Amino acid sequence: MRIESPKLIAALPEMGVELRPRVSLAEHTSLGIGGTTDLLRIHQHRHLPELIGLLRQEGIEHRFLGGGTNVLVMDGELPWVMLQLAAERNPPRLEGSVASVEAAADLGRTVTWCAKQDLGGLEGLIGVPGSVGGALRMNAGAYGTQIGPCVREVELYRAATGRLETLRGTDIRFDYRHTSFAPDDIMLAVKLELLPRPYAEILQGIRVCNEKRRASQPLSQKSAGCIFKNPPGASAGRMIDELGLKGHRAGDACVSERHANFFVNAGRATSAEMLALVADVRERVRAAHGVELENEVIVWKD
C-alpha cells in the first residue's frame, strides 16, 4: 500500500515518524518472504496514539512489525502499511536488579548486556532471534526459561483505549507462547526483574544454550523458528520427524533436515509455498496422530 494522504504525509515529521516507501518485507523478515508496502518508522513513542488515530481517520490499514522473526507474510502488494519502532541505541537502564529495556532492543544483546552487569535469569533466551517486544508479545521461551515471569512492568500502546498505558507484570497472563495482550497492542518498553549472579556463571549458562541450539537447529538458514506450537506433552518436531518428513518440500519451502519443526526458505520460497507446506504437514500429522498442530508462527495473509 502506498501512503498518498497529503494530510498524513504532512503530519509525519512532527510526530517523529519517518516514511520509508516501497519496502520489501522479504528483507525485513527472517524467513525472507513477504510483499511490498510503505513502512513508517516511529522514533517517538509518545506520538503513537496520534499516528494511529490519523491512520484510522484516513482509512489506512496498518500492522506492526517487531523483529520480523516469527511472521509469515503474504507476497505481492500488501493491503496495509507497516509500523515499526526505530532501533534502540541506548543501553538498558538499571535500578538494582531491574532493567528497563526498550521493546525495539535486540533480545540476544539484552541478555548479554544484562549478563555483563552480573544479572542473569534470561540466559535460556540467548539465540532466540528478534526484539524484546516480540519476545514479550509471544512469551518467548527456550531451555526452561520464559520471559513472562521476569516481567515487572510493560509500557504499551493499547489498541482498546487508543492510549499509552503501563501494566504491571502481575496483571498480564503469560502462557506457553501466548499472552493476554491484544493482537494490535504495541509493546514499547519493559522492566525486567533479573537475578544477581556472577558473570562467569551466567556466561556458562549462555554457552550451554548456544551449543544445544547450534546442534539441533538450522541457524544458518532462513526460518521463523518453530512453525507449530508443541501440543501438550508432545513435541511437534519429533512427530514430524517420525513421519519421515525432513527434507519434504513445497517448491522452495522445505522441512529442515536438522529440526523438523523448522521450515526453511531454501531459495526463493513464496508465501503460498510455505503455507502449502504448513497445511500439508499439519494434515499428515493429523492423519497419523489425530493431533491438530497449532501455528506458532504468525501468518499475515489478508
At residue 196, what are phi and psi to the nearest 5 degrees? -60, 125
Query: Does residue 225 interact with ligand EPU by CB under 6 A?
Result: yes
Report CA torsion sign: 191, 193, 198, 203: negative
- Does 295 sit near ligand EPU (CB under 6 A)? no
Complex with ligand EPU: residue 195 or 245, whichever CB lies closer: 245
**CB 141 to ligand EPU: min, Å:** 7
Q: Is 163 a catalytic residue?
A: no
With contacts defined by CB under 6 A, name the span among 96-104, 111-119, 154-162, 237-245 that binds ligand EPU.
237-245
Give the residue with the Cβ less far from ligand EPU, 45 or 259.
259
DSSP state of 118: T
**Applying CB under 6 A, does 68 fall inside the site for ligand EPU?**
no
Residue closest to 186 by CA, chosen among 151, 140, 139, 134: 134
How many helices (H) and strands (E) in the chain? 7, 20
Please tell me whether residue 108 binds ligand EPU under the rule CB under 6 A: no
Nearest partner of 301 among 130, 76, 65, 82, judged by Cα? 76
Q: Which of 177, 213, 258, 284 is catalytic?
A: 177
Q: Using CA atoms, how far apart are residues 121 and 194, in angstroms rounded to an integer? A: 6
Name the minimum Å distance from CB 226 to ligand EPU.
Answer: 4
Separation of alpha carbons 11 and 207, rounded Å: 47
Does the footprint of ligand EPU cover residue 299 (CB under 6 A)?
no
- Catalytic residue status for 177: yes
Per-residue contact string for residues 254-273; x = within reach of ligand EPU by CB under 6 A? -----xxx------------
The single-letter DSSP state of residue 160 is T
- Which positions are annotated as active-site residues? 177, 226, 296
